[in-house]
Amino acid sequence: MSIAQNLLKIKSSLPSTVTLVAVSKTKPISDLMEAYDAGQRIFGENKIQEMADKWEAMPKDIEWHMIGHVQTNKVKFMAPFVSLIHGVDSLKLLEEINKQAKKNNRIIDCLLQIYIAEEETKFGLDEEELNEILHFVQNDKEGLENIRIVGLMGMATFTDNQEQIKKEFTHLKSIFDYLDTKPKTLNLEPKTLSMGMSGDYPLAIECGSTMVRIGSSIFGGR
Ligand SMILES: *Cc1c(COP(=O)(O)O)cnc(C)c1O
């Protein structure tokens, strides 16, 4: 099937409450344009330079999501245009995003990445670190007015064990529900739970995902 066919098939299977991020990392602009022409306007990349190059080359009504691990010194290259940063995993990074957003006269939406997998290689915050960040965000409103925490992101363990994946997604959903009990402030407005990729997105949706990040099922293997 073509990219457009893959995309439309996946889109028609998603509940209306779930947003699709088409993960286009490593793929050429011609592939992205095929998805664009089929109606897709949200693309996810995991390298800042590659995302910036594609942003420059492509139509300006696209929302670009950074889904990869972010190095603090590269935030400035995406601050002018990025619409959602999924992988925020430290206060230091959040402060840098705030600084660069301010320079660009913007408010940048962020998701805090939570560590839910049983793999040492994955990034993310544990619950204690999450609470530290929330405490800071809620008590230092003046300082962080150019970021907005709009939810959480997580990646399940890469395994065929559906029970384990389900357990991890359910855990993340419970943290999301906890976040929702916090008083809303200008920079804390949780609404998005980013979980689910090509291999596990139906299960993620069952567990409460509101945003899925799908690459290979749309664009083919990498
Ligand atoms: C690559 C990537 C995806 C998409 O993975 P697929 O298995 O190709 O759908 C989703 N989320 C993150 C963080 C990724 O790096």
Nearest Cα residue to atom 13 of ligand 1: 67
- Residue 96 confidence (pLDDT) above 80: yes
Reported as a pLDDT band with limits 50, 70 and 90, residue 141 is: low
- Specify the ligand 1 atom closest to the Cα of 86: 13
List, chain by chain if needed, residues with CB within 6 Å of any ligand 1 atom: 23, 25, 46, 67-68, 155, 197-199, 213-217
Residue 121 in this model has a pLDDT that exceeds 80: no
pLDDT digit string, tens, across residues 48-73: 999 999 999 999 999 999 999 999 99
Name the residue of 6, 26, 67, 197 whose CB sits within 8 Å of the most ligand 1 atoms, as the mutation to test its pocket: 197
Q: With pLDDT > 90 as the criterion, what percentage of the chain qualifies? A: 91
Shortest-distance atom of ligand 1 to CA 199? 7
pLDDT of residue 140: 72
3-215 topology per CATH:
TIM Barrel (3.20.20)
Selection from 61, 69, 60 nearest residue 25 by Cα: 69
**Of residues 123 and 103, which shows the higher confidence score?**
103
- Could you tell me which residues come within 8 angstroms of residue 29 by beta carbon, excluding any fewer than 6 positions away? 54, 57, 58
Atom of ligand 1 minimally distant from the CA of 23? 4
Q: Which two tokens stand for residue 178?
A: 């906890």
pLDDT at residue number 151? 98
* Å from CA of 122 to ligand 1 middle: 12
* Mean pLDDT of all residues belonging to the chain: 95
Measured by CA distance, the residue closest to atom 7 of ligand 1 is 198
Residue 143: predicted pLDDT: 78
Domains of the chain by residue range: 3-215
Distance from Cα 140 to the centre of ligand 1, integer Å:
33
Please, which residues have CB within 8 angstroms of residue 67's CB and are 6 or more apart in sequence? 21, 23, 25, 44, 45, 46, 86, 87, 153, 213
Name the pLDDT band for 124 (thresholds 50, 70, 90). very high
pLDDT of residue 131: 95
Binned at pLDDT 50, 70 and 90, residue 11 comes out as very high
- pLDDT classification of 213: cutoffs 50, 70, 90: very high
Calculate how far, in angstroms, residue 142's C-alpha sits from the geometric centre of ligand 1.
35
pTM for the predicted model, two decimal places: 0.96
Q: Looking at the predicted structure, is the pLDDT value of residue 205 above 70?
A: yes
Mutation probe of ligand 1 site: the residue of 23, 51, 67, 165 with most atoms within 8 A of C-beta: 23
Q: Given a cut of 80, is residue 31 above it in pLDDT?
A: yes
Span of 6-20, 75-89, 112-126 with lowest mean pLDDT: 112-126
pLDDT in tens, 77-91: 999 999 999 999 999
